[in-house]
A and B are shown apart, each in its own frame.
Chain A
Amino acid sequence: MTGLSTELLICLSYLLVVLIVGLLPSRQFSNSVPGFVAGDRSLNVLVLYFVMGAAIFSSFAFLGGPGWAYSRGAAAFFILTYGAFGLLPFYFLGPKAWRVGKRFGFVTQAELLGHRFDSRLMSGLLSVITVAALVPYLTIQMTGAGYIFATVSDGLIPEWLGALLTYGVVTIYVLSSGVLGVGWTSMLQGLLMMVIAWFLGLYVPQVLYGGIGPMFEQLLSTGHGELLSPPGLAADGAPWHWWGYSSAVVVSVLGFSCWPHFFMKAFAARGPKSIKLMVVMYPTFQLFIVPILIIGFAGILAMPGLDNPDRILPSMLTELQLSPVLVGLVCLGTLAASMSSGDAILHAAASVLVRDGIGSARGRGMTDGTERRLIRISAVVLGAVAYWFAVVSEMSLVALLLASYGAIAQMFPVLIAAFYSRRVTGAGAVSGLAGGVAASVLFMVFPEWRPLPVHEGVYGLVANVSLMMLVSRGTKRLAPERIAAYVEDRLD
């Protein structure tokens, strides 16, 4: 009982620390929409690095990541690859977005693309895709936090209360400090996640096998060679196909920087140099997925036959009988991963819903104060909807989340067209995006219709680019002066 109390105490104290850190910058930005949403374009490279790093590693990192390595072996290397390459397009797109953002006052990518293609439909469509993709993502973060509290308190704090406590804290600092609250807490949470992951990735194989090398040797000598050979196993346990592995990497790389809660940080950055340097440094954060995967591999021989692979890390912690302080720290790492993604998602979804969804439906005309108030109300409402899905609804959101990966990647051709093409018209861009999302969702729902076993997002991208080019040929070009601000005679 004493042990449980220590772990619970660590987690509760951590929530308090995060709350304080999140509230600190509440007076450090202007009382305006650009202040709340983009921190007055003031984020330096260090804050950007941790915001992006910590937002990317959600509760999936500590629960799903080891689960993939445990159940699908080398298939999990896909996470390492797409994460490292995922921000590359941002090196070129980020500075361009920053420049037009500063010039026209944009704080969301839907706003940028709506203006570029002179289309309110574009803004509206993007806001629908954004909210549909981010709400299930947020729900999964809440479920992760609830699970951690239920585990450390041995059921004393049920999952619904754990999720409520954690996201109560997140909502409070997002409402009061906006993107700066997300930034400051991400530095703390990102650093903690890195330290805890590296510690576990080295410690667990050492205790169980005498080191990482001996662990892999034992896996090989006990007939688990297929788990160490890419592309590893598919979700059903059969060998994964190279088509599936490679296309999943490519679609994820293209879609990665298009996620609104990442892309919007281009508008929050201090300048193009901060954005570029953040992308350069980013692979160093990504290396932290290596120990995460090693934890999963360590479980293959130590805990065979686990029903839910996502529970491999908590199950091993119990098995190893670590000191309660260490278990508490690991749970804290998972909480940090959940919160540092959840806060960015909540902030982005609320900003996009109001700025682009409601804004484009009303045709602008809100005062700054009304807009800020609406964004805060939306954050609470969206948080409540995600929470409802997490604790009340029986509906599985995994399918919706999976569908959103293919759908988000469809923003990539539109962003490329925005900055590199003078020929693509508003109607072309909107039809490409809508057709791409439709094709991607269709092939996800009916995988048997795919001519090749590649990721559904690839079919979406083919439909997207084809429609974009075809419709652009038949529609009137945009005014050159509108395009001039976006398409420059340079790559970055």
Chain B
Amino acid sequence: MIEKGRDGRASRRRHRNYLVFFVVALLALIWPGLALVSSPTPFVLGLPLSLAWIIAWLVLLFFGLVRLFISDIREGRDG
């Protein structure tokens, strides 16, 4: 299905924004993002800072994916 015109361009731009978010999230969990929080302290909810940071980003990633999926469905893209 080839999408042309303004709707197709807006949709591509939206997907590219999500791709940027995914890349930022990945960089937060390797160098340089993870290096900024590599100290074990302070503990967050009993977990070392770095592990809590990773889990927090995974939760963010999950919500990002949920939003992407919902907007795809709203746009009538089943895939």
Contacts and interface: CB of A to CB of B under 8 A. Distances in A.
B43 to A, nearest CB: 6
A69 B76 CA distance: 44
B20 interface: no
Interface residues of B, number: 43
Interface in B63-77: 65-66, 68-69, 72-73, 77
26 contacts: A74-B48, A77-B51, A80-B54, A80-B58, A81-B54, A85-B25, A85-B26, A88-B65, A212-B47, A213-B45, A216-B43, A220-B40, A228-B48, A229-B50, A245-B30, A249-B29, A250-B30, A275-B79, A276-B79, A279-B65, A280-B65, A490-B8, A490-B12, A491-B16, A492-B15, A492-B77
A489 B50 contact: no
A98 interface: yes
Contacts of B4: 489
A408 to B, nearest CB: 19
Given A276-B69, A287-B55, A491-B19, 16 more contacts: A85-B61, A213-B46, A216-B47, A229-B40, A230-B35, A245-B31, A249-B26, A249-B29, A249-B30, A250-B30, A279-B65, A280-B68, A280-B69, A283-B62, A287-B58, A491-B15
A211 B46 CA distance: 9
Interface string B5-32: 0001001100110010010011001110
B48 A286 contact: no
B79 to A, nearest CB: 2
A91 interface: yes
Given A212-B46, A286-B58, A229 B79 contact: no
Contacts of A279: 65
Nearest to B14: A491
A81 B66 CA distance: 18
A225 B46 contact: no
Given A230-B34, A230-B50, A245-B31, A283 B11 contact: no
Interface of A: 74, 77, 80-81, 84-85, 88, 91, 94-95, 98-99, 211-214, 216-217, 220, 225, 228-231, 242-243, 245-246, 249-250, 253, 271-273, 275-277, 279-280, 283-284, 286-287, 290, 488-492
Contacts of B51: 74, 77, 290
A228 B16 CA distance: 35
A228 B51 CA distance: 9
